[in-house]
Amino acid sequence: MIRWIRQQLGFDPPHQSDTRTVYIANKFPQHGHYIPQRFADNRIISSKYTIWNFIPKNLFEQFRRIANFYFLIIFLVQLMIDTPTSPITSGLPLFFVITVTAIKQGYEDWLRHKADNEVNGAPVFVVRSGSLVQTRSKNIRVGDIVRVAKDETFPADLVLLSSDRAEGTCHITTASLDGETNLKTHYAVPETAVSQSVSRLESLQAVVECQQPEADLYRFVGRITVTQHGEEIVRPLGPENLLLRGARLKNTKEIFGVAVYTGMESKMALNYKCKSQKRSAVEKSMNTFLIIYLGILLFEAVLSTILKYAWQAEDKWNEPFYNQKTDQERNSSQILKFISDFLAFLVLYNFIIPISLYVTVEMQKFLGSFFIGWDLDLYHEESDQKAQVNTSDLNEELGQVEYVFTDKTGTLTENEMQFRECSINGIKYQEINGKLVPEGMTEDSPDGSVPCLNREEELFLKAVSLCHTVQISYDQTDGPGDPFSHANGFSPQMEYYASSPDEKALVEATKRMGVTFIGSHGEIMEIKTFGKAERYKLLHVLEFDANRRRMSVILQKPSGEKVLFTKGAESAILPYTTSGEIDKTRVHVDEFALKGLRTLVVACRHFSADEYQEVDRRLHEARTALQQREERLVEVFNFIEKDLELLGATGVEDKLQDKVQETIEALRLAGIKVWVLTGDKHETAVSVSLSCGHFHRTMNILELVQQKSDNECAEQLRRLARRIKEDHVIQHGLVVDGASLSLALREHEKLFMEVCKNCSAVLCCRMAPLQKAKVVRLLKTSPEKPITLAIGDGANDVSMIQEAHVGIGIMGKEGRQAVRNSDYAIARFKFLAKLLLVHGHFYYIRIATLVQYFFYKNVCFITPQFLYQFFCLFSQQTLYDSVYLTLYNICFTSLPILVYSLFEQLVHPHVLQSKPALYRDISKNSLLSFKTFLYWTFLGFCHAFVFFFGSYILMGEDTTLMGNGQMFGNWTFGTLVFTVMVITVTLKLALETHFWTWMNHFVTWGSIAFYFIFSLFYGGIIWPFLHTQDMYFVFVQLLSSGSAWFAIFIIVITCLFPDVIKKVFYRHLQPTSTQKSQMYTNRVAIGDDFIALQPLSRAKNQLGKISLLRPTRASDAWTPCAVSQRGKTAAHGWAGWWSE
């Protein structure tokens, strides 16, 4: 505890230096002045609260909300001064809201605690005192040697020491970290790889020096110093030596590793980041309305206080005979009396601020979010994936999107690569029946004959089959074995795994053409060229990175010659080539790109013995550096990857996903502009944009590419702006590359945005991940403040997804990082149309009506209280009983609006999808505009006046409404107003409801019935625990009067009849497109008749879904995902619940 306090105060920082020193097996130096570094234990803590801090911390967080804090102040005022209402009227609703929220958050945190305890208590094996000891995961310390068996997850971040394989390699999968399911190979340094037993590990003398923990999963800088026979051997450590917590061991019997990062300092834990809180436009509007209503409240309280003193200025009202003041009251300070009266009126009118609005909105968002996962139309059968919601706070924002920013590869395309063409030594080739055939020729060699390749063709295929990080999995690879045992008789069970689909497609293509990659064994890579085995020694791998945009391997050929093979983007290879058919290959690359193919350029470099020694020395120095290792490696890589001999280029096809063109067209009809942001080259990106319908053939394509300077970029932007003004009739599309974008954003943001906004479609190519986020931020912060949505499938899309108002991850083949960092996740791009046009539309109209209705019903509630003060000399007498004040928002009017906000559908989902233009009706937060807000507020005041004065006129002065001549009192009058109000606000919501289910009927009529039953029960019994019995027999007496029933009927009709007239008038004389669609929906039978109008394939699909839900004919907007027998049963049950 003391250490923690010191760390918080900055006296005892957890990490004193930039590096940490880890003594393997915790064999610390024996000299006396050594002070061990302090490291975190191995406990994972994802929970937010403890049993000790839950109450204070949770209360603090809840009272940071304005409405909760406001009601707390009101409650304290009621406790401190004499107010007209009981403190219970404010305290009980506040307690209810706080308790419900605390229970929800407490339960969620309990689940986190449970998950933490399960992880921290997992059994692990650790080498201690010369033996293998079983302990709990939380007891692992930095420096411990941990044993992990096959298919187990790593309990901490470990540096690999040895495995059951002689060369010290192991295979892992990092699916739980980044979603990549391919096998990755990790390596132990040769000096520790031989320590394969506990006894040898116990005798190991080694020290690991590495950087302090950081969140980057793919970065690790360190070195290991092994002492052997009194000599210190230093080896570099990189990401390929580090086994991350959460990854899983595959195809390896067991490994031993030393823990370097534990617990909350592991890379997995450091990636538990809280995403910046995104707030929807509806929430911002709600806060604005709250402030306005707070102003109305203060105005009413001040006005009432002033009028009270104005009336009391007349002697006849100051001290009536029945309420003489005491001497103390006469002599007290006028200022204090004024403040006290002001606070009392504030308490009297405080319910105009709806305390239950927040909790109702939270429940609506939480429960409503399940409908996305339950929607069968968002379920992808091939991959068995349904849509998922990572945050429910932005549901309604799906109905407000104005700009969609989408990645290309894996989002618009399948990310399933198929080799199509290549260029070798300036000649184009195609693959025909697994053989490489020059363009224009046909495959004429007989089947079974060995094709003859010239030197250039063979070298190109060897380069492609060796320059990669592909791994091979066999069915039986448990334990030590020689992967080359399959070389003589090729095993059909062999399967390639690659982190990049391009690499896998290329290696599979070379296999079909006769050059087969057999596998790696330590430093040896083996290929078979038409049956002849060749072994290459892998000397160095120059890893791919986004800045270099290329990767290389340095190999020793069977002849002993050293050669570098490299592949990458043409812009990253061609400038460094000095020989080969450069111009022809560049033309071929452009031709491939125009066909929409993904291109890679392949080159090589042969080293002399002296050149290789220099390369090896520089690489070793850079890789063993602890400071600025990345910068030094980039410098060395650039030194190596030059003077290249161009071998050729490849063209790989990435197919478009299903229904991409229809989806983009639907978004365009909905008024949503689509921007494609991709890292692909210009020609490839334009070709794909044209094929997917992002660019139309009739569109005027403008280009801002290859700009070299600020002035040149500015001049080009002005030219484009002039062209758009001159040709304002036709549509324009804009193409921008990454370099030009950097220039445009540096000095000419305003001009660039003006050009972009006047274009129907924008394509940004050669984009770095951070550039994608910059473009989104630029548009998001423009003066119009449009709502943006970003959608992507890869780790390079994460920054864009987090920057946009709404981020959507595609469950694709590039891992799960985009999905983990997104707000919503879907399996295919085509699902975006229904997500926005249907779910977004429904969520928005539901919550917009919920917010407006809450303010309306609270105006109806409190305004009669304000009007009543004019008739009681502002004596602060309450119109309603305290129990009614307390239960109005909690019980009597809460359920109908909650059910409405979950199930309302203005238009049938099929109509919303078939008419995307309906999305425009709700754009720009139109249902929560200031005009709509004023309408609902004015309606609330009007209804309140009718409630109050209708009841007042009925009762009149000295009018008896009872058969025995008995008069009504003030409690009967208040109860009459309250009864009319509960019925009217409930029926008002019924008028707004278009989609009726049995639940709507149950809660609507049930709420009115509950009010009557409760009032009869409450007023029919003398409750001993109540201080006063003001309401005893009041409600029974009220209902026994025929005049009262008549008044209730007349007042309700008076309030709602103008509403009905207005709706009928506008619907027939000035119908909106949504209202026209409603009438269209009513004319077309939805169900089996509707299916008859669909194409046959769609009809079969719909019939298959409806067969699950035949008794209910449930809407696709909320149908549960029934993907298993259990799911079908659940779907059937849920659908029955919400049937009409």
* Cα distance between residue 250 and residue 471, in whole Å: 12
Residues 965-970: contacts with CB within 8 Å, 24+ apart?
A: 968/1037, 968/1038, 969/1034, 970/877, 970/879
Assign 3-class secondary structure to 1083-1105. HCCCCHHHHHCCCHHHHHHHHHH
- What count of other Cβ atoms lies within 10 Å of the Cβ of residue 425? 17
Q: Look at residues 754, 818, 1004, 1026 and name the one whose alpha carbon lies nearest to residue 897.
A: 1004
Q: Which residues contact 871 (CB under 8 A, 6 or more apart)?
A: 952
643: region left, alpha or beta (phi > 0 left; psi from -120 to 50 alpha):
left
**C-beta separation of 989 from 896 below 8 A:** yes
Of 844, 735, 738, 840, the closest CA to residue 789 belongs to: 840
Tell me the torsion sign for CA atoms 299, 301, 306, 308: positive
CA distance 827 to 202: 49
- Strand-pairing partners, residue 553, are 541, 565
The kind and range of the H/E element at 298 are helix 281-312
Residue of 407, 793, 797, 921 with catalytic role: 407
Looking at residue 1042, its amino acid is G
976: left (phi over 0), alpha (psi -120 to 50) or beta: alpha
How deeply is 626 buried, as exposed, middle or buried, from its count of CB atoms within 10 A (0-12, 13-18, 19+)? Answer: middle
Q: How far apart are CA 873 and CA 313, in angstroms?
A: 12
Q: Say which amino acid occupies 476.
A: Q
Cα 596 from chain centre: 30
Full strand arrangement of the beta sheet holding 131-136: 131-136, 123-128, 145-149, 254-261, 157-163, 242-243
Beta strands in 262-412 (DSSP E): 388-389, 403-406
What's the CA gap between 68 and 94, in Å, rounded? 7
How many Å apart are CA 109 and CA 587, to the nearest integer?
60
Residues linked to residue 605 through DSSP beta bridges, in sequence order: 564
Nearest of 976, 871, 884 to residue 304 by alpha carbon: 871
In the chain, DSSP finds a helix count (H) and a strand count (E) of 42, 35
Q: Are 1090 and 1019 in contact (CB under 8 A)?
A: no
Phi, then psi, of 453 in degrees rounded to 5 = -110, 140
Looking at residue 276, the DSSP 8-state letter turns out to be P
List Cα–Cα distances, 737 to 324, 741, 766, 831, in angstroms.
85, 6, 6, 29
What's the rounded Cα separation, in Å, for the pair 137 and 1131?
40
Residues 593, 685: Cα–Cα separation, whole Å: 8
- How far is Cα 547 from Cα 425, in angstroms, rounded to an integer? 27
C-beta atoms surrounding 735 within 10 Å: 22
Length of the chain: 1140
User: What's the angle, vertex CA 566, arms to CA 565 and CA 570, rounded to 5?
Assistant: 145
Give SS3 for 237: strand
407 in active site: yes
End-to-end CA distance of the chain: 60
Per the CB < 8 A criterion, the answer to whether 257 and 158 are in contact is: yes
Active site amino acids: 407
